[in-house]
Amino acid sequence: MGERIQARRELRGWSIRHAASRAGVAHTTWSRIERGELRSDRYMVADIAAALGCSITDLTGQPYTPADRQLEAAHIAAERLWQTMMALPLDEPPSAGRPAAGDLVRESELVRDLYARTDYAGALARLVDLIPMLHTSAYGPDAAEALTAAVQVYGVGMGALLNLGHPAYALLAAQRCTEAAQRLNDPAALAVAAVNRGRVSAHTGAYGPARSAVQRAADELERHPDAPAALDVLGFTHLARAHHATGLRDEAGAAEHLAEAARLADRTGETEAWDLQWGPRNVALWTIAHQIDTGRSGEAVETAAGFDAAMLPAVRTVYLYTDLARALADVHRDDEAVRMLLTAERVAPQHTRSSAAARETARALLHKARRASPMQGLCERMGVAD
The pLDDT tens digits for 36-56 are 777 776 677 878 887 887 777
Give the class (CATH, top level) of 1-61.
Answer: mainly alpha
What is the 8-class DSSP label of residue 62?
P
CA 170 to chain centre: 10
- Give how far Cα 276 sits from Cα of 172, 191, 313, Å: 20, 12, 11
CA 254 to chain centre: 18
| 96 SS3 class | coil
In the prediction, which pLDDT does 265 show?
97
In the prediction, which pLDDT does 169 show?
95
Query: How far separated are the first and last CA of the chain, in Å rounded?
Result: 11
Whether the upstream peptide bond of residue 63 has omega within 30° of 0, thus cis, is yes
In the prediction, which pLDDT does 386 show?
56
Per-10-residue mean pLDDT of the chain, 386 residues long, equals 84 86 86 79 76 75 63 90 94 70 86 96 95 92 94 97 94 97 96 97 92 96 93 97 95 96 96 93 94 93 87 91 94 93 93 89 81 72 70
In the prediction, which pLDDT does 84 show?
94
Which residue in 145, 74, 76 sits closest to 109, CA to CA? 145
Torsion of the alpha carbons at 218, 198, 128 and 115, rounded to the nearest 10: -80
CA 165 to chain centre: 10
Domain definitions of the chain by residue range? 1-61, 296-386
| pLDDT tens-digit map of 105-139 | 899 999 999 999 999 999 999 999 999 999 999 99
CA 358 to chain centre: 13
In the prediction, which pLDDT does 106 show?
92
Is-contact 243 286, C-beta < 8 A?
yes
- Round to whole Å and give the CA distance between 188 and 271: 14
In the prediction, which pLDDT does 42 show?
67
Helix (H) or strand (E) holding 230: helix 230-247
In the prediction, which pLDDT does 162 show?
94
- Round to whole Å and give the CA distance between 63 and 383: 12
* Summary count for the chain: helices (H), strands (E): 21, 0
